[in-house]
Amino acid sequence: MHLSDDARVWGVTQSINKVHRPLSALDLLLGTARAELNASESELEAEVGWGPELWPMPPRVAIIACEGGVDFRTSETFGLVMAIFNAGAEVVTTTRWTLPSDNGFHKYAGVDSVPGPTTELALAVDTTHEDTDPIRALGDWQRQKLQEWMAAPGPATSPLVWAAAACHTCPPREVVSPRLAVTEKGQSA
């Protein structure tokens, strides 16, 4: 994820051309508590705190179009979804692969619908997150899109976009900062 922060703002990852700094899953987990991870830019001042303290998440979070839901491809299941859960989210909707932009659909596949397929997905996920059961609501929307694709196959109805969405859930729980967890075990913070 690329934010508009520049090289003057601290983060675990290196700034890119001193223009912007990517936000990483480690930033969301560790926050600024482990400044030594970015030793080359350690002269930057940062408010010290763990990720969930600095960036608490709302109960429902969506990460659309950027392949945010790839945590489970490897044996180490830590990635963006797990970091967002660690920061307090209960439902995270992501896409399992990178999606083409609406402009790409228009330019290369002649799709002129407004909104385009990728924007339609983002709007649908936003709507499903307002539902009392966002997982069921997303599944219902995807089944509707399947029926549309079966009735009129083509780039505008292709599962390339609507099938990419997946909901991840983590039951409600108390989020404890790593600092407090260590202290509770009798070790110094």
Over residues 159-184, the pLDDT tens digits come to: 999 999 999 999 877 766 666 655 55
Q: What pLDDT is stored for residue 72 in this prediction?
A: 58
Give the torsion sign (CA, 77, 78, 80, 86): positive
SS3 of residue 14 by DSSP: coil
What is the value of pTM for the model shown?
0.74
Q: If you average pLDDT over every residue of the chain, what do you get?
A: 81
Most confident of 8-17, 72-81, 107-116: 107-116
Q: What pLDDT is stored for residue 178 in this prediction?
A: 64
Encode pLDDT of 41-55 as tens digits. Answer: 545 556 678 888 888
Taking CA 81 as the corner, what is the angle to CA 78 and CA 171, rounded to the nearest 5 degrees? 105
Contacts of 175 (CB under 8 A, 6+ apart): 52, 56, 86, 87, 88
Encode pLDDT of 5-30 as tens digits. Answer: 667 777 777 777 877 777 777 778 87
Identity of residue 61: V
